[in-house]
Amino acid sequence: MADKGTTDGTGVDAGPGGEFGVVGLGVMGANLALNLADRGVAVAAHDPWPQARAAFADRLVEAAVSGVTLADDPAALVAALAPPRAILVMVKAGDPVDAVIADLAPRLAPGDTLIDGGNSHFRDTLRREAGLAARGLHFVGLGVSGGEAGARRGPALMAGCAPQAWERVRPVLDAIAARADDGTPCCARLGPDGAGHFVKMVHNGIEYAIMQVIAEAHGLLRDLCGLDHGAMAGVFRSWNRGDLDSYLIDLTARVLDRTDPLTGEPLVAMILDTAGQKGTGRWSSEAALELGVPTPTITEAVFARFLAGLKAERVAASAILRGPGPAPDLVGALCGGDDAVESIRQAVLGATVAAYAQGLALIAGGSRAHGWDVDLAAVAAVWRAGCVIRSALLKAIARAFASAGGPGAAPPANLMADPEFADLLAGCQGGWRRTVCRAVAAGVPVPGLSSALAYLDGYRSDRLWANLIQAQRDAFGAHTYERTDRPGTFHTEW
């Protein structure tokens, strides 16, 4: 395959040229292959399933894309690429990735690079990187966010790999990545081996949390404030013009505006109230438990989906379990028009900041445990465009962790402790607290909003209740305790 260049229509070179292989032509793989071709990269593509290859061939014709070679088997794919080769693997996480690697690795030469762009567990990436390094092959664990549209037009890319591997693949990955407002590619090497997939895992955990918080706000606007779907769409559109400007808020407005062609009703109202998941949110919670990092809102979002899945049990329980009954003093206040909507907005804003804070703290914990030295400012910069959790807040988050306070200033231990975010949280906590109190009084579950508020209150408390827990542990298990007035460990015969 010969190198080729292309332009973006302005006469400016739109890509690095060169060659790339792509294995896996599902939604993400096919769109990334087209993105690569658009940027002047000569692509050799393969999928084990003939139907997938045929469907991709049809897309090439429809899109009038050139510079793509379809390979019928892995041997043909490898033969189509000149060394040093770079091959992007876009198949389902787990055993399918290992199967592709096992098929490709013996055909590759030292210095070639394999890139896993799926949602692989970071521990699998650690194992694969070590195994391929023994063969002289480079391995990149690449977190890809942005869904179908992002893959086609520009995703956020989070890489974990050796510096030599990054030098090989960076020009191409920079070319296909989303661009932030300042033109910077949303693409970075965030550390060695599993760092990229760990960051992508946590990205998805934050995504779970923010989606849960937004869903709870929708429920409050619908069930307590009595807004119809059109009015709710307008509320979310107005929120998208301020601090909450984000992909997920904008998406929510568009979802609420959609009409079901079968019934003429709002489409979202016709969707069964259960939500699926692919496991990355659960992985984030498992990592948090392993590392001892509190991520209550991320974890509550995972549990909330589990609870939503108990549809038949919930329907049966609704006829048995009684709620609080009318609470006109609180619920009526929540339904008081613009003030109620503003209170809910403040709750969503505060909980969103808490979700980012929890996720970034988890990344910092993982970085310390694995020696990755992940730069949280770089993480926030990568998330500014292309990814599902992109938002206006990320510029300020990047500033916070870039030690914006001046030379020698240390970044905050937690995002919430940054002065800019401390002020933001102080400004929104009034409406946040009112919203949670009124929801609880009305018997409306808000695990995301309430857990995020508890996280804020717990983190800002200089004295908690854990002394009693430690006394209990010492009383029944002789686990000892520390004192507030002198050093050392102590035990009491209770």
Q: What is the DSSP string of 24-58?
A: --SHHHHHHHHHHHHTT-EEEEE-SSHHHHHHHHH
Q: Which stretch of DSSP H or E encloses residue 238? A: helix 229-239
Closest CA to 212 of 294, 147, 304: 304
Closest CA to 217 of 386, 352, 56: 352
| Across 218-231, average pLDDT | 95
329: pLDDT strictly greater than 70:
no
In the prediction, which pLDDT does 15 show? 47
pLDDT bin (cut points 50, 70, 90) of residue 17 is low
- Cβ atoms of 67 and 129 within 8 Å: the answer is no
19, 129, 207, 300: which is the annotated catalytic residue? Answer: 207
200, 342, 395, 493: which is the annotated catalytic residue? Answer: 200
Q: Which residue has the tokens 């993480």?
A: 379
| Cβ contacts of 479 within 8 Å, gap of 6 or more | 470, 473
Q: CB atoms < 10 A from the CB of 65, how many?
A: 15
Q: What residue spans of 64-94 are helical by DSSP H?
A: 74-79
Which residues, in sequence order, are bridge partners of residue 116?
Answer: 89, 141
155: pLDDT strictly greater than 60:
yes
Where is average pLDDT lowest: 26-35, 264-273, 293-302, 395-404? Answer: 395-404
| Across 116-124, average pLDDT | 96
| Across 292-302, average pLDDT | 98
Q: CB atoms < 10 A from the CB of 132, how many?
A: 20
Query: Dihedral, CA atoms, 408, 411, 416, 420, nearest 10 degrees?
Result: 50
214: pLDDT strictly greater than 70:
yes
Indicate whether this model's pTM tops 0.75. yes
207 given a catalytic annotation: yes
pLDDT in tens, 260-287: 999 999 999 999 998 877 777 899 999 9
157: pLDDT strictly greater than 90:
yes
Cα gap 200→122, rounded to integer Å: 9
In the prediction, which pLDDT does 275 show? 81
Give φ, ψ of 466 to 5 degrees. Answer: -70, -15
Cα gap 452→460, rounded to integer Å: 12
Cα gap 364→356, rounded to integer Å: 12
Where is average pLDDT lowest: 161-175, 187-201, 241-255, 321-335? Answer: 321-335
pLDDT in tens, 77-89: 999 999 999 999 9
Supply the DSSP string of 461-484, one letter for each residue: -SS-SHHHHHHHHHHHH---EE-S
- Cβ atoms of 202 and 50 within 8 Å: the answer is no
| Cβ contacts of 108 within 8 Å, gap of 6 or more | 78, 85, 87, 114, 135, 137
In the prediction, which pLDDT does 217 show? 98
Query: Dihedral, CA atoms, 476, 480, 485, 486, nearest 10 degrees?
Result: 160
Percent of the chain with pLDDT over 70: 93
Give φ, ψ of 286 to 5 degrees. Answer: -65, -40
pLDDT bin (cut points 50, 70, 90) of residue 289 is very high
Sheet with strand 42-46: strands edge to edge: 68-70, 42-46, 19-23, 86-89, 113-116, 138-145, 156-160, 187-191
Whether omega for the bond prior to residue 84 falls within 30 degrees of 0, making it cis, is yes
| Across 451-459, average pLDDT | 99
Each as own residue / partner, the long-range contacts of residues 304-310 (CB below 8 Å, 24 or more positions apart, any chain) are 304/212, 304/445, 304/447, 304/448, 305/208, 305/275, 305/276, 305/277, 305/281, 308/273, 308/274, 308/275, 309/274, 309/275
CA–centroid distance for 366 within its chain? 16
CA–centroid distance for 197 within its chain? 11
In the prediction, which pLDDT does 13 show? 35
Closest CA to 199 of 120, 113, 131, 132: 120
19 given a catalytic annotation: no
In the prediction, which pLDDT does 409 show? 63
Q: Is 408 left (phi over 0), alpha (psi -120 to 50) or beta?
A: left
**Average pLDDT for the chain:** 92
CB-neighbour burial class of residue 218 (10 A; exposed 0-12, middle 13-18, buried 19+) = buried
Closest CA to 452 of 346, 305, 324: 346
In the prediction, which pLDDT does 274 show? 87
In the prediction, which pLDDT does 469 show? 96
pLDDT in tens, 344-403: 999 999 999 999 999 999 999 999 999 999 999 999 999 999 999 999 999 999 999 996
Cα gap 2→433, rounded to integer Å: 62
